[in-house]
Structure 1
Amino acid sequence: MTQTKATAKTKATAKTKATADAKAADDPQRNVSVTFYIPAVLRNRTRAAYRATADVERDTSWSDLVRKALVAEIERRERVHNGCIAYDGDDSPLPAGRPQR
């Protein structure tokens, strides 16, 4: 791909993401796509658990299982670190790269 095409594609992708982010800001209940990285073994274990238990746990989809897991961890952190008060969310970017330890 030429540099011009690559630049145009990058700009188009950024514009699409900005549009999606703006729509999400208008409707906080709207689902948005999230990308993150986990070890393959964890993903595979989670998929196996989803397949084995989706009916009894009433998961409507793979996304529903992941959402439930995120909510459980967020609520635990709010309970432990924020006096059971929900953290205020926003759309500001998270820091890039791995956190410094």
Structure 2
Amino acid sequence: EFTNDEAILSYGVNDEYTGVAYRIPLESLEGRPLAPHILTKNAAFSVNFGQEDVPWAQVQTNFTFLRNIPLEEATPGPRRPEKRSDCEVLL
């Protein structure tokens, strides 16, 4: 959710709204987009960013799945390096 001065991130698990997790002042983003990231280790899970035809749970009022954002309003992610030698591995 976006207000005039902050981005509000909240989550739901197994059809249960878990509440607000983060409030980020928009000025701290300095015009950069937010992108969903999930970091796990030794865990299996599924997510639905809107790629499924039917939501897995009740969706909050005014919620927009990522796939429903018009392309002209979307920001592409970073491009991959052109050469393999430019890649960096983090362990």
- TM-score normalised according to structure 1 size: 0.23
Q: Which has the larger radius of gyration?
A: 1
| Structure (1 or 2) with the greater helix fraction | 1
Quick check: which one's strand share is greater? Answer: 2
What TM-score, normalized to structure 2? 0.25
Greater RCO structure (CA 8 Å; 6+ sep): 2
